[in-house]
Amino acid sequence: MVWDLTKQQAVPLHREQVGWHYQTSGLDAALTGTYRVKLLNGREVDVMPVWQLYLVHFQDYDLDTCHQICRTPKDLSGPLGAGFRLDQARRHS
């Protein structure tokens, strides 16, 4: 499931709609945000895309913490993370 920004609702996304097929699917899947959906039992819950979950979870990890956990070179981790943030900003501007 993805949150379609055009339809403002959750819609299914199946394997035949990923990759280059996504461009012709008519979907505009949200990468960030929190959305309220109604379950089959009538209960409403807040949901968010996986990318938003990553943003929330990883905000607690600074460059030093990432280096201690993963042993990744700091000089590579910083630019890589900045590239992800820049790409995300471009997609949603």
The answer to whether the predicted template modeling score (pTM) of the entire model surpasses 0.75 is no
DSSP, collapsed to helix, strand or coil, labels residue 42 as: coil
Which whole number is the average pLDDT over 14-23?
Answer: 89
Please, what is the average pLDDT of the chain?
A: 84
pLDDT in tens, 26-50: 999 999 999 999 999 999 999 999 9
> Would you state the pLDDT for residue 4?
96
State the residue for tokens 């968010």: 48
Give CA–CA dist 87/91, Å, rounded.
6
Contact 49, 55 (CB under 8 A): no
Of 55, 33, 93, give the one whose Cα is nearest residue 10: 33
Which whole number is the average pLDDT over 69-79?
Answer: 76
Query: In this structure, what DSSP letter does residue 35 have?
Result: E
Which whole number is the average pLDDT over 63-75?
Answer: 81
Helix (H) or strand (E) holding 54: helix 50-58
Ranges of each domain in the chain: 1-52, 61-93
